[in-house]
Chain A
Amino acid sequence: MTREAAPSDGADAPDIHGRDPGAFLEEVHSFEFWFQSVEGYLSEHPYGVVAGTRSSDLTASERDALISVLSTYCIGESAALEGASGMIRFAPNRHAKIFLATQCVDEARHLEILLHRLRELGVDDPENSIESFGHPSLREFRRRLLEFVDARDWEAALFAQNVVLESMEFAVFHAHQQTADPRTAQILEGILKDERRHMGFGENTIGRLLDRKPSTRARLGEIRQELDALVFGTFEESLRAVGQSAAERPEVGRLYLDTVARLGFGA
C-alpha cells in the first residue's frame, strides 16, 4: 500500500501536493476531472450495482421501511437536481457553473437509480409515490431551497443545498450503507462517491465567500437555524426506519455539525 522508498524507486518524483493552488482548483472544478473520476466507479454498474448482485430477503415491514426511506432520498435528490440546475444561471463564475453542471448529472443519476430500486421493491409508480411516501419535512426543505434559487440568491441556495443538505445526506447514506441489503448498499456507496464532491464544493465555496464577505455569516446562520430542524428531523426518522440505534444517531449528525463548525457556525 505504502512503503518507504529506496533511492531506486525514483524518490525525487514530484508529489501532487506540491502543485500550485490555482492549478489545483482549476482542475478539480473541470468537466474533464469529473468525467475521469466517475468513469472509475460508474462503468459496469448499471443502475448503480454490479450485475448479479442479490438483494437479501426483506420482511414486509423491512421492505415498507426501505420504500419510505428511499422515497425520502428521492425527494432530496430531486431537490438537488432542480436546485443545481437552476443555480447554473446565476453562479458567479465559470468554475461554479461547470461544477454545478456535473452535479446536475450526478443528481439525475441518483434519482434514476433510486427510482429503479423502488420499482425492484415492488412500487409500481415510484415517481408519483415518492411524494406520499417521502418525509414531509424534506418536502418543505425542497420548497425553501427552490425559493432561494428562484430569488437567484447564490449564498443562501449554495449553503442550503451543498452544505446543509449534502452533508446530512452524506452522513445518513454512509450510516444506512452499513446495514442495507447488498443492492441498496452498492447504490448508496456509489452515491456517496459523488456526494464527497458536492459537499466539498459547498464547504469550500462558502468558506471562501465568508473569508471575503464576513457580513454574510449572520444571515447564513439564520438560514441554518431554519433548515436544521427540517433536515435533522427528516434524517433522524430515516435512520430510525433503517434500524440505526438511538445511541448511534448523534454520531451520524456529528459530520454535519463538524462541517458547519469549520465554517464558523456554532451549535
Chain B
Amino acid sequence: MTALDSAGFDPIDEEAGRESAGTGGARRRFALEDDTGFDEVPKKYRRFYRKWRGPEDELAPNEVVCPVCKIVIRSARELREGDRVYCMPCMSRLVVVRGESGRLEATVRY
C-alpha cells in the first residue's frame, strides 16, 4: 500500500469516529490502491473512488455508492452506520446509513 500524503488529513478514528455508531468490535482495514482507472480527482485521492458498474456491482465492506453522482466511495476501513464519508467528485458530505434492503448506503448531509 502506498503511503498517503498525510498533510491536512486527520487521523481516521478521531473526527469521523465521533459520528459513528461505534458498535461491532474492531473494524477490518483495507489497502487501497490507485488501480481502478478513476481519474476525476487529484491523483493523491484517486484510490478512494472508483466507477460504479450498476446495480449488479457488488460492493466491498469498505465501499458505498454516492447517491448524488453514482461514484463508489472507498474507505481504508470497514464502513458502519453513522460513519462520515466524502465524495470528492461531486463535493458531497455523506453519512453511512442502513437502507431498507439491509445494505449500507450513503445519504447526503448538506
- Asked if A13 and B86 make an inter-chain contact with CB atoms under 8 angstroms apart, the answer reads no
The residues of A that contact B88 with a CB separation of less than 8 Å are 16, 28, 33
Q: Which chain B residues have a beta carbon within 8 Å of chain A's beta carbons?
A: 1, 3-4, 6, 8-17, 28-33, 35-36, 39-43, 45-46, 48, 50, 60, 62-63, 67-71, 73-77, 83-93, 108, 110
**Once the chains are docked, how many angstroms separate the CA of A161 from the CA of B11?**
37
Within 8 A of B (CB), among A1-50: 1-6, 9-21, 23-25, 27-29, 33, 36-37, 40-41
Within 8 A of B (CB), among A62-87: none
Q: Which residue of B lies closest to A26 (CB)?
A: B8
- In the complex, which range does the number of interface residues on chain A fall in? 35 or more
Which residue from B11, B31, B108 sits with its C-beta under 8 Å from A9?
A: B31
The A interface is mostly helix, strand or loop, or mixed, namely: helix
**Once the chains are docked, how many angstroms separate the CA of A42 from the CA of B39?**
10
The residues of A that contact B86 with a CB separation of less than 8 Å are 16-17, 19, 24
- Asked if B67 and A262 make an inter-chain contact with CB atoms under 8 angstroms apart, the answer reads yes
- Asked if B83 and A17 make an inter-chain contact with CB atoms under 8 angstroms apart, the answer reads yes
Task: Say yes or no for A222: interface residue by CB 8 A criterion.
Answer: no
- Asked if A4 and B9 make an inter-chain contact with CB atoms under 8 angstroms apart, the answer reads no
Known contacts A36-B43, A203-B68; is A2 also within 8 Å of B90 by CB? no
- Asked if B50 and A15 make an inter-chain contact with CB atoms under 8 angstroms apart, the answer reads no
Task: Say yes or no for A199: interface residue by CB 8 A criterion.
Answer: yes
- Asked if A10 and B75 make an inter-chain contact with CB atoms under 8 angstroms apart, the answer reads no
- Asked if B108 and A23 make an inter-chain contact with CB atoms under 8 angstroms apart, the answer reads no
Tell me how far the C-beta of A68 lies from the nearest C-beta in chain B, rounded to whole angstroms. Answer: 27
- Asked if A17 and B91 make an inter-chain contact with CB atoms under 8 angstroms apart, the answer reads no
Q: Which residue of B lies closest to A24 (CB)?
A: B86
The B interface is mostly helix, strand or loop, or mixed, namely: loop
The residues of B that contact A1 with a CB separation of less than 8 Å are 33, 35-36, 50
- Asked if B91 and A13 make an inter-chain contact with CB atoms under 8 angstroms apart, the answer reads no
- Asked if A2 and B31 make an inter-chain contact with CB atoms under 8 angstroms apart, the answer reads yes
**Once the chains are docked, how many angstroms separate the CA of A1 from the CA of B35?**
6
* Shortest Cβ-Cβ A-B pairs, 3 listed: A200-B90, A207-B110, A36-B42
**Once the chains are docked, how many angstroms separate the CA of A208 from the CA of B108?**
11
- Asked if A14 and B12 make an inter-chain contact with CB atoms under 8 angstroms apart, the answer reads yes
The residues of A that contact B48 with a CB separation of less than 8 Å are 16-17
Tell me how far the C-beta of A261 lies from the nearest C-beta in chain B, rounded to whole angstroms. Answer: 10
The residues of B that contact A211 with a CB separation of less than 8 Å are 110
Task: Say yes or no for A204: interface residue by CB 8 A criterion.
Answer: yes
- Asked if A3 and B31 make an inter-chain contact with CB atoms under 8 angstroms apart, the answer reads yes
- The 10 sampled A-B contact pairs (Cβ below 8 Å) are A1-B33, A2-B30, A9-B29, A15-B9, A16-B86, A21-B93, A24-B93, A37-B42, A199-B69, A203-B92
Known contacts A37-B40, A196-B40; is A18 also within 8 Å of B89 by CB? no
